[in-house]
Amino acid sequence: MLELHHNAASTCSQKVRFVLAEKGLDYVSHEIDLIAGGQHDPEYVKLNPNHVVPTIVHDGKVIIESTLINEYLDDAFPEPPLRPEDPVARHAMRMWTKRIDDKVHPMAGVITFGIGARPLLIAQGQEAIDEALAKIPNEAQRARRKSVIEHGVKAPEMKTAIHAFVDMVNDMETSLANGPWLCGEHPSLADACAFPYVMRMDHLAMDPLFAPDMRPRVRDWYARIRALPSFDAAVTQLLPEFVIEMFRSNGAEVWDDVKALAARRA
Ligand SMILES: N[C@@H](CCC(=O)N[C@@H](CS)C(=O)NCC(=O)O)C(=O)O
């Protein structure tokens, strides 16, 4: 039996739900409200001491860290395989997942909280913001979150964040010259890992950065991913339209600043 502790809008949860769907695996769903602080619930922290989603529990065994969860699922449920057999292609796949975990994911927090969710958080008042910040165990993450809630798109962290996303879509554009998916002819864990971040750009109205005249292969790859039934199960069925609309309108408000930061990297 598989249980998944997750959140509809969380990028790391989306990539795990995509893999669960690709493998046709049913799971018992435990949704964690990240705005209300469900990730800090002492019972949940016993499962995930990092206070983050996702976590899976498989026949009583607790598995954390989204990329490692996806590798675990591919080990435990090998069909269909989501890692290339060829060692060089498998290394390329792991380069994508590592780079996204190390460089892109921390910056996704910057654009999400500094652009998409910022007005909602500010509306909750400073006391609620301070209380939520105090609960974040990772010091660097706490400092980044504080800065972007205070300064929004003008926060010093925003430049590095936008550049991490521009670098990602640039390198995707190059890789996708070799095939329809990031590591060849079939979707792999690299695609599962990358799509939530490209989607986050889309939801924050940053999609001109992969417009047909700019990064057409990324554009086509994103359309290809969205056409898969697993995308529907992992995202469309769970992520409320009002969240996407809120992100998109908050993103559109600051697009000129984002565009200026992106132009310095493109
Ligand atoms: N390295 C972790 C990162 C997980 C992570 O940062 N999850 C975010 C949602 S995508 C979260 O739970 N954030 C809680 C918070 O910001 O307080 C993984 O890959 O599982």
Spacing, Cα 106 to ligand 1 middle (Å): 9
pTM confidence score: 0.97
Per the document, the length of the chain is: 266
Per-residue pLDDT at 109 exceeds 90: yes
From atom 2 of ligand 1, which residue's Cα is the shortest distance away? 65
What mean pLDDT comes out for the span 214-222?
A: 97
CA distance 89 to 236: 30
Per-residue pLDDT at 266 exceeds 80: no
Give the position, in ligand 1's atom list, of the atom nearest the Cα of 145: 16
Per-residue pLDDT at 235 exceeds 90: yes
Q: For ligand 1, is residue 158 a contact (CB within 6 Å)? A: no
Per-residue pLDDT at 99 exceeds 80: yes
Spacing, Cα 52 to ligand 1 middle (Å): 4
Domains, the chain, with CATH or none: 2-76 (3.40.30.10), 87-263 (1.20.1050.10)
Spacing, Cα 20 to ligand 1 middle (Å): 18
